[in-house]
């Protein structure tokens, strides 16, 4: 439901809180080292593999939770490797996927080809830079799944609302994801300062209210924890997340992994649960 923007007496400026947390993370010492995750071939391959797996319960549950009908026009913002775009197109939806990463767009196209799906319209852009001329709206449903990297979340949400004629679905972290535990523990020892987590879904929901969007919210525990085949894979993943390839940090990281990870049926797990939120509104 979209209403006129409101001011709540004595309420914090939630949009500014979001911006402040994003800026604090962006300027964190060491955060920009090593290039972007989404252009790294190895990281993207692993990330995509976990989300393109046939019958993935996490993706299936999210699709089932949304009111998306065959023939709907769907806008997928930050579409990544096509986790939603490909299965929705296979169900008969007309999908436009906004994705700034060239590596991710390549993986999405390969996924669509493997599944025999065509007709997904790709927009190579950040959501902040998309204009009405870039899109082919309006859309029945707008989705942004763990892609809310925008500094101005209120402006981003207004743009989503403006191009939707039925509903908008946002998926985001209610608590910091499990791998943040690793960064919180190791960042000071690697970079000499405390790690700064990004903004969470409670801030997002309150910012939406202040922009005049009165959204629903549902919460669930994350389906899985970060899992690794062996200590070598875990240490490599931790080093990448820490934005370091220094030899002096390798032993520190491996020792941490050996002391921290727990064995499970799936492999070695980070022993921290996390919670996610689906925030949505209808028009």
The predicted pLDDT at position 49 comes to: 55
pLDDT of residue 31: 80
Cα–Cα dist 249/94, whole Å: 47
Q: Are 227 and 200 in contact (CB under 8 A)?
A: no
> ω before 2 within 30° of 0 (cis)?
no
pLDDT of residue 35: 46
Q: How many CB atoms lie within 10 A of CB 38?
A: 17
Does residue 216 lie within any of the structural domains?
yes
CB atoms within 10 A of CB 74: 24
- The alpha carbon torsion through 77, 175, 200, 279 (nearest 10 deg) reads 50
pLDDT at 50: 54
Q: Is position 231 within any domain?
A: no
Nearest Cα to Cα of residue 48 among 111, 118, 1: 111
Task: Give CA separation, 141 vs 73, 102, 133, 164, in Å.
Answer: 7, 24, 18, 6
End-to-end Cα distance, the chain: 5
| Domain that residue 81 falls in | 14-177+194-224+275-282
In a domain, 160, yes or no: yes
Phi, psi at 202, each rounded to 5°? -65, -40
Are 171 and 51 in contact by the 8 Å Cβ rule? The answer is: no
Assess if residue 241 is contained within a domain. Answer: no
Torsions phi, psi of 279, nearest 5? -115, 130
What ranges in the chain are assigned the alpha helix state H?
14-26, 41-51, 57-65, 85-90, 102-114, 153-163, 179-191, 201-210, 231-241, 247-260
137: helix, coil or strand?
coil
Which residues, in sequence order, are CB contacts of 263 under 8 Å at separation 6+? 269
pLDDT truncated to tens, each residue of the chain (283 aa)? 544 444 556 789 999 999 999 999 888 888 865 445 555 555 555 554 555 554 567 888 999 999 999 999 999 999 999 999 999 999 999 999 999 998 889 989 999 999 999 999 999 999 999 998 899 989 999 999 999 999 999 999 999 999 999 999 999 999 999 889 999 999 999 999 999 999 999 999 999 999 999 999 999 998 778 888 999 989 988 998 898 888 889 999 999 999 999 998 889 999 999 999 999 999 9
Instruction: Give the SS3 label for residue 276.
Output: strand
Supply 124's token pair: 């190579």
| Residue at 85 is within a domain | yes
pLDDT at 98: 98
Find the CATH number of the domain harbouring 218: 3.40.50.150
What is the predicted pLDDT for the residue at 8? Answer: 55
Residue keyed to tokens 């299965």 = 87
Provide the greatest CA pair distance for the chain.
Answer: 55
Distance, in Å, from the CA atom of 141 to the CA atom of 172, rounded to the nearest integer, reads 17
Position 82 scores a pLDDT of: 93
Number of domains into which the chain is organized:
1
Q: Is residue 118 part of a domain?
A: yes
- Kindly state whether residue 41 falls inside one of the protein's structural domains: yes
Q: Is residue 245 part of a domain?
A: no
Q: What is the DSSP letter of 213?
A: B
């Amino acid at each position: 439901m979209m209403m006129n923007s409101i001011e709540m007496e004595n309420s914090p400026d939630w949009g500014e809180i979001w911006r402040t947390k994003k800026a604090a993370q962006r300027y964190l010492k060491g955060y920009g080292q090593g290039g972007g995750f989404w252009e790294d071939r190895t990281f993207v391959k692993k990330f995509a593999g976990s989300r393109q797996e046939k019958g993935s319960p996490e993706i299936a549950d999210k699709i089932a939770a949304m009111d998306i009908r065959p023939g709907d026009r769907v806008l997928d913002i930050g579409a990544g490797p096509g986790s939603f775009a490909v299965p929705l197109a296979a169900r008969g939806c007309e999908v436009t996927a906004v994705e700034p990463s060239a590596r991710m767009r390549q993986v999405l196209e390969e996924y669509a080809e493997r599944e025999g799906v065509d007709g997904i319209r790709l927009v190579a852009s950040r959501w902040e830079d998309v204009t009405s001329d870039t899109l082919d709206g309006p859309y029945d449903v707008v989705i942004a799944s763990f892609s809310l990297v925008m500094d101005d979340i209120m402006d981003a949400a207004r743009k989503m609302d403006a191009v939707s004629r039925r509903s908008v679905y946002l998926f985001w972290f209610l608590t910091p994801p499990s791998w943040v535990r690793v960064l919180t523990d190791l960042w000071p020892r690697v970079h000499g300062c405390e790690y700064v987590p990004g903004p969470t879904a409670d801030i997002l929901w309150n910012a939406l209210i202040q922009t005049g969007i009165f959204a629903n919210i549902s919460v669930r525990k994350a389906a899985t924890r970060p899992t690794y085949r062996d200590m070598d894979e875990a240490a490599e993943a931790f080093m990448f997340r820490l934005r370091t390839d220094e030899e002096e940090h390798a032993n520190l990281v491996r020792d941490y992994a050996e002391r921290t990870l727990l064995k499970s049926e799936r492999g070695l797990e980070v022993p921290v649960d996390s919670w996610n939120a689906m925030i949505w509104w209808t028009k």
